[in-house]
Amino acid sequence: MTGAVVPSVHVATTFAQDGVGNLRSGYEYARSANPTRDALQECLAALEGGRAAYAFASGLAAEDTLLRTVLAPGDHVVIPDDAYGGTFRLFSTVLARWGVDHTPADTSDVGAVAAAMTDRTRLVWCETPSNPLLGVSDVAALAAAAHERGALLVVDNTFATPYLQQPLALGADVVVHSTTKYCGGHSDVVGGALVVDDAVRADGEPLAELLTIHQNAMGAVAGPMDAWLVLRGLKTLAVRMERHCTSAEAVAAHLQAHPAVREVLYPGLPGHPGADVAARQMRRPGGMVSVRLADEAAALALCARTRVFTLAESLGGVESLVEHPARMTHASAAGSPLEVPADLVRLSVGLEDLEDLLADLDQALDGAAAA
Ligand SMILES: *Cc1c(COP(=O)(O)O)cnc(C)c1O
């Protein structure tokens, strides 16, 4: 009506009714639906090529809502043996007490996933590329394996974003996002999302309808300002991802040639075991690069010495970040099959000048070696 080119932040918690049960605008109460959140959900559904999207207060809130919509006590889930530490913690501490058990498997190996499935398996979880080891899983093959046993395939698409990879088109049933990362893109909002396709059913019911009910019933929704910030981030997703990828490719190649680096984990490198699958299912290999150094001391020294790369958890923002997964983002996986190597450093390659990024990594690695 106003012609505003930007959707408004609707802060109202409630909406006037013209008569009892006669909604004026279709809106009733802001937990159930809010116009700003609807705008984000419509945008995410369109980007992922899904029927419906649901925005939440965090990535983990999205995951929890999905899991308690689809699963019941007694069900079994196959989870990746390399995944975001908080996802593992959700299964190991929350869902386990709720009577859902899980088996970790290498999701880059479809045979290993099939072998881990039981008659009680309702869901296969996959992250590709994975956090923090940058493993690549074949979404179409995993979808076929899951569907053969009547299970759903969930893909955490946080690292790739819908710009680089669209799991629903490859056969996945549900896409999960931490919109805190690339979708928001500016390190100023925590959020999560689920996107589902048309035909997906759980217990014979359309999953999209069940999620509408559970999003409202569980209430872990994205607030209007948070929804607006993610929407704003999504406007530049394509250009940001192109630059993230260009710089990450250069960082990976540069680090591979550095004598202090034992191994570079990046799906765009020809030697990566998932390079062919990544080339098939992703537009480009993404903005995350992990490296393995001589030992934990060398990894901690690199984290301590960068100046352009800020030492911090999280990823996917315009600024470059460095972190030590074993002691930071993945500390909750210590002692589990998802434990990550102590010599690992994870880089979120940002949008700064590439020469500055390469020079920063060189001075940090050379300084660490000299120390
Ligand atoms: C950060 C992250 C999550 C969790 O999202 P939050 O917004 O922090 O709750 C889930 N999956 C991946 C791959 C992540 O990086």
Q: Give dist(CA 269, CA 230) in Å, integer.
A: 31
Q: What's the pTM value of the predicted model, to 2 decimals?
A: 0.97
The finding on whether 190 has its CB within 6 A of some atom of ligand 1 is yes
> In this structure, which residue's CA is closest to atom 8 in ligand 1?
59
Catalytic entry in 37, 89, 122, 181 = 181
The pLDDT value recorded for residue 97 is: 96
pLDDT digits (tens, 9 = 90+) for 129-141: 999 999 999 999 9
Residue 271 parent element (H or E): none
Q: Where are the domains of the chain?
A: 17-234, 237-370
> In this structure, which residue's CA is closest to atom 2 in ligand 1?
178
CB atoms within 10 A of CB 119: 7
The pLDDT value recorded for residue 203 is: 81
The pLDDT value recorded for residue 371 is: 65
pLDDT tops 80 at residue 198: no
The pLDDT value recorded for residue 21 is: 83
CATH number of 17-234: 3.40.640.10
Q: Give dist(CA 208, CA 197) in Å, integer.
A: 8
Q: What percent of the chain has pLDDT over 70?
A: 99
Catalytic entry in 84, 163, 182, 266 = 84
The pLDDT value recorded for residue 25 is: 85
Mean pLDDT to the nearest integer, 181-193? 98
Confidence of residue 204 (pLDDT cuts 50, 70, 90): confident
Q: For the CA atoms of the chain, what is the radius of gyration?
A: 21
pLDDT tops 80 at residue 167: yes
pLDDT digits (tens, 9 = 90+) for 268-322: 999 999 999 999 999 999 999 999 999 999 999 999 999 999 999 999 999 999 9
pLDDT digits (tens, 9 = 90+) for 244-261: 999 999 999 999 999 999
Mean pLDDT to the nearest integer, 166-191? 98
Q: Give dist(CA 1, CA 4) in Å, integer.
A: 8
Which amino acid would we find at residue 181? K
Q: Give dist(CA 274, CA 259) in Å, integer.
A: 24
pLDDT tops 80 at residue 10: yes
pLDDT tops 80 at residue 370: no
Cβ neighbors of 318 (< 8 A, separation 6 or more) are 185, 186, 187, 240, 350, 351
Mean pLDDT to the nearest integer, 154-172? 98
Token reading at 148: 């053969």
The pLDDT value recorded for residue 17 is: 93
> In this structure, which residue's CA is closest to atom 4 in ligand 1?
59
CATH fold of 237-370 reads: Aspartate Aminotransferase, domain 1 (3.90.1150)
Q: Cis omega (within 30 of 0) on the bond before 129? A: yes
Local structure of residue 223 (DSSP, 8 states)? P
Please give the mean pLDDT across all residues of the chain: 96
Is the Cβ–Cβ distance between 41 and 54 less than 8 Å?
yes
Is the Cβ–Cβ distance between 125 and 77 less than 8 Å?
yes
Mean pLDDT to the nearest integer, 43-56? 98
> CA 160 → CA 29, 186, 279, distances in Å?
34, 16, 12
Confidence of residue 127 (pLDDT cuts 50, 70, 90): very high
Q: How far is CA 23 from the centre of its chain?
A: 36
- Annotated active-site residue 356? The verdict is no
Q: How far is CA 129 from the centre of its chain?
A: 9
pLDDT tops 80 at residue 69: yes
Confidence of residue 342 (pLDDT cuts 50, 70, 90): very high
Local structure of residue 276 (DSSP, 8 states)? H
The finding on whether 346 has its CB within 6 A of some atom of ligand 1 is no
Mean pLDDT to the nearest integer, 90-113? 97
Confidence of residue 199 (pLDDT cuts 50, 70, 90): confident
The finding on whether 348 has its CB within 6 A of some atom of ligand 1 is no
Q: Which residue has the tokens 């530049």?
A: 236
Confidence of residue 24 (pLDDT cuts 50, 70, 90): confident
- Annotated active-site residue 149? The verdict is no
The pLDDT value recorded for residue 234 is: 98
